[in-house]
Amino acid sequence: MIGDLVVLDVGAVAHGGHCVARLDELVVFVRHTLPGERVRARITEERKGYLRADAVEILQASPDRVEPPCFYAGPGACGGCDFQHATPAAQRLLKADVVTEQLARLGGLPDYPVEVEELPGGPLGWRTRVQYAVAPDGRLGFHPTRSSRVLPIAECLIAAPGVRESGVTERRWAGVDAVEVVAPSIGDVSILTRRGRGRPRVVAGPATVREQAAGRTWKLPAEAFWQVHPAAADTLVAAVLDMLQPQHGERAFDLYGGAGLFAAPLAEAVGITGSVVLVEADPSGTAGAAKALADLPQVSVVTNRVERALTELGEADIVVLDPPRSGAGAAVIEEIVATGARAVAYVACDPAALARDVKTFRSFRWELAGLRAFDAFPMTHHVECVALFRP
């Protein structure tokens, strides 16, 4: 069956950058298509109960379809962008539908209205951190969807100008598994290489990069986490502060805090009579936080895993959490609930993980009191959400 061509009438979008169609009794997850289209698709994978396919010919196009701006977008090619063939406005509607669907299916909240807000800067040239894979011949590229093959890429259109101008794709790289380019908001670009799961090595540019957000400057190790879209840091900080409305004298937690993007404005808002505890597992993140927040004595920085640290932190009035894609999980949410906080802002880069965690909050009789979603990753299926929970 793999390799067969079939004609499919394409239905709703699903999480992961594909749409759902049916072939007899089977569900088919189809990439490179849009809801409402009729396509000729090639079956790429056969699984128990479902198939995967790539639309290779569009028989009836959606009005939202456009010619992908990127040469490498399309069936079997680069797996980095899922929605190059949709208008930016349609991409945001697709992502909104996915968040609504995930909240219904995994969070138990049917018909939750979601609007995905546009970030400034347009759909191309936004990615300030790009990790390239290295092909056997030393050229840089990206993996096609669900493949370990490396497709050599001369230029990536979603990469920020600093990344594209770094010239990394013009040379061959021997003896490394990945090359990462970091284009910070201030100063020169850094180039890092990785071997296996070892620590990255800075091979060009500064080892410490500077980022500007929330009215202050961070100096952090080039490999430390920072929001990838240049407008994301300020946008997320504004959304979190607006939802939590921190008050003078309050105690706040910034969990999965990285270099303290949320801890700094929270500390300014709670003032010197309040306190903020930042918890982050990666020492390169807390190294950045310790330097950037040195003028804020009300902040304490804890280098530890959230699930370990939370058991000893005691009570809080407000909590921000910004976990990795896997989400926070039930044990961490139970600890957050136990802090007695009046409000929690949850910054989520995976709507499925968020929806699972919504379900856990609701099991403790906490409500989802607000949700904003941002198109912080245009052209891809990814979407950033900020959710407000209250007991």
Ligand X SMILES: C[S@@+](CC[C@H](N)C(=O)[O-])C[C@H]1O[C@@H](n2cnc3c(N)ncnc32)[C@H](O)[C@@H]1O
Residues recognised as catalytic: 349
Residue 29 vs 256, nearer CB to ligand X: 256
Taking only Cα atoms into account, the Rg of the chain, rounded to an integer number of angstroms, comes to 22
Residue 225 vs 374, nearer CB to ligand X: 225
Whether residue 100 contacts residue 92, with contact meaning beta carbons closer than 8 Å, is answered with no
Residues that bind ligand X (CB under 6 A): 225-227, 256-259, 261-262, 279-282, 285, 305-307, 322, 324, 349
CA distance 266 to 242: 11
Whether residue 357 contacts residue 331, with contact meaning beta carbons closer than 8 Å, is answered with no
Closest separation between CB of residue 245 and ligand X, Å? 19
Residue 47 vs 305, nearer CB to ligand X: 305
Per the annotation, where are the binding residues?
Answer: 227, 256, 280, 322
CA distance 141 to 150: 6
Closest separation between CB of residue 356 and ligand X, Å? 16
Whether residue 289 contacts residue 264, with contact meaning beta carbons closer than 8 Å, is answered with no
Q: Identify which of 54, 4, 9, 64 has the alpha carbon closest to the alpha carbon of residue 31.
A: 54
For residues 318, 240, 304, 364, the Cα torsion angle rounded to the nearest 10 degrees is 50
Closest separation between CB of residue 17 and ligand X, Å? 20
Closest separation between CB of residue 380 and ligand X, Å? 16
- Chain length of the chain: 391
Per the annotation, where are the binding residues for S-adenosyl-L-methionine?
Answer: 227, 256, 280, 322
Q: Are strands 343-348 and 318-321 parallel, antiparallel or unpaired?
A: parallel
